[in-house]
Amino acid sequence: MAHALYGERMIGAPLNGVRVLDLTRLLPGPVATLHLADLGADVIKIEDHAAGDYARILGDGPDGISVFYRCVNRNKRGLRLDLKQPQGREVLLRLAAGADIVVESFRPGVSERLGIGYRQLAAVNRKIVYCAITGYGQDGPLASAAGHDLNYIGLSGVLEQIGVDGGRPAIPNLQIGDLLGGAMSAVMGMLAALFDAQRSGQGRLVDVAMSEAVLAHNLFPFFHLQSSGELPPRGGDLLSGGDAGYAVYATADGRYMAVAPLEEKFWAVFCATLGRPEWLPLHGARGAQAATLRHELAALFASRDQAYWQELFAGVDCCVTPVLSVNEALAHPHFVARGMTVQADGVRQYAPPVKLSGWVFSVERAAPTPGEHSAEILSAAGFSRAEIDRLQASGVL
């Protein structure tokens, strides 16, 4: 969706001309390369002949292909390649010679054993940016250990702090390790290395550990530990329950309001809107005072339905908003005006979360079927028709 804020002159997608070989599957890697593809990169999704990317069957979707797979693999081309055959390795090396980025999510050492590790690819293309996404990094005691998002946030100290006072750790439904670590940190590393490679002519290995990305962003407990020598109890930190002015309050109809007038100027507007001037001196209250204030706020919000509070605070600039369901968020006038969803490939999809002047996002390609563009990709890379036919006949493609 175009927006007047960004001007009218179109200058094209920022990553136009960048070629990415994507050997990942499921969530972290495919979301990382989704961002690159949406920004104009030519992402070639490379799958094996066995399961391939089994995100295709994780959930329902049109024609048996999941919504999950369709949404995180749009704007990519598909190539099927058996990397366990020597000819498959040779195909990848030839493709890497003309690529800018390679992304994989194997356990450490696997790509080297296949003959497609960073050193092997850098030998044919010194500018190559090689991103390896793992749970624990390329070295260290846990380098070869299996893991999932829950393990990464558990080991990094994040999960221990999530939840309410007196409760058990709560599992977030936003995959923090996979998305903050495996996707966004990978994109940051790849783009930084790509920028340098374009300038210096030398590529890099980008070693992304999802557990480390989570650890490095677990900021407030880290700050608290150094300033006081101990961690706050679960649900007791400033932003997780310690401040009554930063909390979730239930309404009479079983819905919730997100109440966050942290700064004194917002707190003053909040108190005035509620007609409670006696709360003004309680800004930033802690301990028993905070507990009493929280009880009074809970009673007040529980006296009316969410719709009442939503209407009362509409247009009031003090950081109070309703807690919406996903379907309500998608219908919210702000996200609609910002064009945050598109209809493509038979399903509703999110638009990119970054908008740039001179470029309008669009879904140019549906998520590929296995090997859908194999012949097209190899032909553009200089393979003859006879070579492609031989590779297909031998089961490499």
Active site residues: 148, 178
Name the domain count of the chain: 2
Here the tokens at position 243 are 């401040």
Name the nearest CA neighbour of 238 among 223, 249, 217: 223
Q: What is the DSSP string of 56-84?
A: GGSS--GGG--HHHHHHSTTEEEEE--TT
171 inside domain: yes
Both 52 and 176 in one domain: the answer is: yes
Both 31 and 167 in one domain: the answer is: yes
316 inside domain: yes
Instruction: Tell me the pLDDT of the chain (397 aa) as tens digits.
Output: 445 455 567 888 999 999 999 999 999 999 999 999 999 999 999 999 988 999 999 999 999 999 999 999 999 999 999 999 999 999 999 999 999 999 999 999 999 999 999 999 999 999 999 999 999 999 999 999 999 999 999 999 999 999 998 899 999 999 999 999 999 999 999 999 999 999 999 999 999 999 999 999 999 999 999 999 999 899 988 889 889 999 999 999 999 999 999 999 999 999 999 999 999 999 999 989 999 999 999 999 999 999 999 999 999 999 999 999 999 999 999 999 999 999 999 999 999 999 999 999 999 999 999 999 999 999 999 999 999 999 999 999 9
Residue indicated by tokens 């609609």 = 336
Both 76 and 13 in one domain: the answer is: yes
Give the pLDDT confidence score for residue 161 in this predicted structure. Answer: 94
Both 91 and 240 in one domain: the answer is: no
Q: Are strands 347-350 and 341-344 parallel, antiparallel or unpaired?
A: antiparallel
The residue count for the chain: 397
Give the pLDDT confidence score for residue 8 in this predicted structure. Answer: 61
Beta strands in the chain (DSSP E): 19-22, 42-47, 76-80, 101-104, 129-134, 205-209, 247-250, 256-259, 320-322, 341-344, 347-350
Give the pLDDT confidence score for residue 6 in this predicted structure. Answer: 56
30 inside domain: yes
Both 237 and 108 in one domain: the answer is: no
Both 293 and 167 in one domain: the answer is: no
Q: Are strands 320-322 and 341-344 parallel, antiparallel or unpaired?
A: unpaired
Supply the pTM of this predicted model. Answer: 0.95
Phi, psi values for residue 17, rounded to 5°: 95, -10
Give the pLDDT confidence score for residue 167 in this predicted structure. Answer: 93
What's 204's domain CATH number? 3.40.50.10540
Domain that holds residue 291: 233-250+256-322
What's 282's domain CATH number? 3.30.1540.10
74 inside domain: yes
222 inside domain: no
> Of 287, 322, 357, which residue constitutes the final position of a domain?
322
Both 126 and 79 in one domain: the answer is: yes
Both 274 and 151 in one domain: the answer is: no
Both 116 and 263 in one domain: the answer is: no
Both 381 and 318 in one domain: the answer is: no
- In what helix (H) or strand (E) does residue 296 lie, and over which residues does it extend? helix 287-301
Both 66 and 176 in one domain: the answer is: yes
Both 115 and 210 in one domain: the answer is: yes
Give the pLDDT confidence score for residue 237 in this predicted structure. Answer: 87
Give the pLDDT confidence score for residue 289 in this predicted structure. Answer: 95
309 inside domain: yes
383 inside domain: yes
Compute the half-sphere exposure of residue 267: CA atoms within 13 Å on the CB side of its CA.
17
Give the pLDDT confidence score for residue 168 in this predicted structure. Answer: 95
From CA 74, how far away is CA 368, in angstroms rounded?
7
CA 337 and chain centroid, separation: 22
Give the pLDDT confidence score for residue 1 in this predicted structure. Answer: 46
333 inside domain: no
